[in-house]
Structure 1
Amino acid sequence: MKKSTLAMLCLLMIIISTVSCLAGCKSREQRLNEETEYEETQMKAVREKVIRCIKKDDKEGLKKLFSKRAQKDIEDLDGKIDEMLEAFKGKTIVSTKGESADSSRAYDYGKETITIYGDYTIKFSAGEKCTLFISFCDKNEESPDDKGVFQMELRMFSKEETPKDFSGGAYQDDHGIFIYTLQNYPKK
């Protein structure tokens, strides 16, 4: 009798463990969907803050979006923010459409780093378009000073107008504000 009770108890524990494990586990696809949704939400929030600062000509607000490290590393950040805001002077932004949001995740001994990259087509009331690339670190458990925007690249021309010999501008992880016009773009 003791053996059968013990066997039943063990079997019951195995069944309960299996059911709770299966119920608690998410599929890889579910986790990826949640991560993608999270990253798109974060990128949209950053994009809206950047556009709001540009529309309001808010130099300090734009500067605060940059990570502490980027604020230290970017030479003449105030001057570059002034240049960016100057590029938008006299133009009325009517829409900002996101083309993509890519991310990069790193795991180091249980510590997570999330870097998100997005590019947007900005349309002006006069029908002109430009492209704005924003790169920001959403999470860095090892270096909290890295959290925030670290790069903006503004191309004052649309993707359709991009010259064939355009080399692609800044490297993905460079800190800085990079502004290109059809007259000063980097050539291959």
Structure 2
Amino acid sequence: MRKLTCTLLCLLMILSTTFCLTGCKSRTDEMAGLEAHTDKQINKMKKQVIKCINKQDKEGLKKLFSKDAQKHIEDLDGKLDQLIGAFNGNKIESAKGSGTDFEGSADAQPLHIYGDYSLKLINGEKYVIMINICDIDDDNKEKEGLYQITLMTFPKDAAPEEFYIETNDDDYGIFIYKKDGIQQ
């Protein structure tokens, strides 16, 4: 009887330890899954934005913006023209990310994803583009999509002294900064 009790206690301890370790692993897996999801979503949006800029497809770019952003960005068509025009017809050759970040989770919505990319143009110029999307918002589907693009027509290391971007991550809009510090 004593052997049976010891065996059952050992088995119970092994099962509880396994259950605890599995629980920790699933949380780690969940976080890794969320990071993989955010990277996939922002990379997909980045490719679509670059494709539209390279084709000078203003309507395609406009459709990437959430319905809510389309309603709230003042003179969206004019700002899209300025964004596409800032490239002076030069195509984007490459876009290297310096980081993806997110705010929220699939459970605590909305899920906002931010991407920051150094662009190299065909003519050798270097720009920086920041893309902000709302990936998941089950309570307000109209907010899902692109809601902010910030373009710097110079690389980060060539930013003018005391350069400061005056946007908030949650602001709707298209913001263009030129090397002389002028925002359009």
TM-score tier (shorter): 0.7 to 0.9
RMSD: 2.7
- Given residue 121 of structure 1, which amino acid in structure 2 is its aligned partner? S
Q: TM-score, normalised by structure 1?
A: 0.83
> For the residues of structure 2 that align with 1:111 and 1:94, how far apart are their CA atoms?
37
How far apart are residue 136 of structure 1 and its match? 0.4
Q: 1:112 aligns with which of 109, 113, 116?
A: 109
CA distance in 2, matches of 1:111, 1:84: 33
Q: List runs of 5+ in structure 2 lacking aligned partners.
A: 1-8
What does the per-residue CA deviation read over 1:53-99, in whole Å, with 9 as the maximum and x for residues that have no partner? 00111111100000010000000001000100111123132111111
Give distance in 1, aligned partners of 2:105 and 2:29.
Answer: 19
The worse-fitting range, judged by mean Cα deviation, of 177-186 and 43-52 is 177-186
Matched, 1:182 2:183: no
CA change 1:155–1:142 in 2 (3 A) is: same
Corresponding residue for residue 148 of structure 1: 145
Aligned length: 179
Q: Name the residue aligned to 2:3.
A: none
Identity %: 41
| 1:142 Cα deviation after fit | 1.2
Amino acid at match of 2:47: E
In structure 1, the partner of 2:156 is: 159
Alpha-carbon shift at residue 169 of structure 1 (Å):
3.2
Task: Could you tell me which runs of 5 or more consecutive residues in structure 1 were left unpaired when the two chains were aligned.
Answer: 1-10
| TM-score of the superposed pair, with normalisation by structure 2 | 0.84
Q: Which amino acid aligns with 1:82?
A: D
